[in-house]
Amino acid sequence: MACLIAAPSSGSGKTLLSLCLAAWARAQGLGLQPFKVGPDYLDPQLLSRVSGHTCRNLDPLLCGPEWLERCFSWHGSRADLALVEGVMGLFDGRGPSSEGSSAAVAAQLGLPVVFVVEASRQAGSLAALVRGFRDHGPPAVQLAGVVLNRVGSERHHALLAEALASIEVPLLGVLPHHPSLELPSRHLGLLPPEELQDLEQRQEQWAELAARHLDLEQLLPLLAPPAAEPGAENPIHWCLRQSSHSRQTSHLRQSPQPLPVAIASDAAFHFRYPEAGELLEAVGLEPRAWSPLADEPLPDGCRAVLLPGGYPELHTAQLAASRRSLGDLARAAAAGLPLVAECGGLLLLGEQLADGEGQLQPMAGVLPFKARKGSLSLGYRTATATANGLLVRPGESFCGHEFHRWQLESLPNCDKSVAAGDGLWQLDGWGTAARSEGWTAPNVHASWLHLHWAGCPVIPSRLAAAAARAAPLPTSAASCSPTNPGPRSSKNAGV
């Protein structure tokens, strides 16, 4: 039943092996369903593009263990093959524990582990490293074998194979030095597929490398999909049944006319789990792609706006020049349309955003802050709501993930508590001080925190209810003119 591809650490070659197997399977006309452990947006985009199947995140901390099993079984059983790419090192989880780690997911789903080792500077020591990971626990792992990355020569290959044989661990193949296996990256991870101009050529080369250098006879049985469960329920429907609030929006799902919701979708905003769109549709909303980078007006009849994470800091000048989009966003806030923003989407709502060189550019001006590059904020967070807002109620607790290098600065003439983001929830996580974070208002929910809505289905249900109450954004002359600066006087509207 499938396998989990893990490694001693990030950068070992988990993604490269997963991409090679996905490319080979597609070249053979086989449908391979990829999964990714942990809160990752970029690896799944590459795996989705190469495999032709939407990659699904498996994160027991964000979504809970039952969702994990249902998601894996439902999507995996509908494909010819399946694999799960792990996260970081095999036992790396929340803080120093293995909670939420690749090992924990492998143990929960009963998956054998294919271990990828970057072996360019190793020989006999490989045996000690692999033995340590094989025998470490809890949780115990079933090590199916090892794939070696960056093997330099036939002699190097022979040395490493003998080291693995000494501890009776199968060698499942090698990934040699090859230009196609050098993937470019930036400060939050790999480049998305849209920015890899030679992806089609790379995909052909990955398929050839898999056929030539991997032991497919041993690997193929490890890619067998999970068996279909009789009477299994679509995990999206199961998820919504767990939310008592979904009953309040059941009438929306029966409506012949779904309510349109704008979702920022372009090179600046593309950090979104696929379940977000599926859940929106299931509660009676119609996701409509909207590109601030292209200076598009908000869609006609828009009832809410969703601003996901991404890389707005790489596109500050172009976003600042998108006066129609920014003006519509400020107008929507002032009109009371529900606005939901997380991480990079939060940056679009501020007064100013700096690029990597520190050059500030104007944004929508809905929230009173400017943002500059700063220290890294990274890790799982428990968020306890402290206010009654658009999507949360006091005392509710959610698990999310924080990952950003830009930090917010108060504006000189603003109320410091508001400018600091006080009011939405208290964030707490390993190795970081508890703090208030985010903005909440009757029509605004904005935070650094990434949530996976499969773990908190009350969120899309409440968004649907708010969208049903909102009046559609009226078309105005301002939104029709790309050169009009928009209603900048609506600063802090809705907050």
Give the residue numbers annotated as catalytic, written as ranges: 343
Coil, strand or helix at 42: helix
| Amino acid at position 99, single letter | E
Query: At residue 416, what are phi and psi to the nearest 5 degrees?
Result: -60, -35
Buried b (16+ CB within 10 A) or exposed e, 27-38: eeeeebbbbbbb
Beta strand ranges found along 30-90 (DSSP E): 32-37, 56-58, 81-85
DSSP state of 260: E
**How far apart (Å, rounded) are the C-alpha atoms in residues 61 and 40?**
13
| Amino acid at position 142, single letter | Q
Q: How many CA atoms lie within 13 A of 198 on its CB side?
A: 10
Q: Pick from 183, 226, 221, 220: which is nearest to 24 by CA?
A: 220
Using an 8 Å Cβ cutoff, are 39 and 86 in contact?
A: no
If you search the block for the tokens 């989990």, which residue do you land on?
4
Percent helix, strand, coil in the chain (nearest 5)? Answer: 35, 25, 40
**How far apart (Å, rounded) are the C-alpha atoms in residues 423 and 252?**
30
105 membership: H or E segment, kind and range: helix 102-109
Query: At residue 432, what are phi and psi to the nearest 5 degrees?
Result: -135, 145
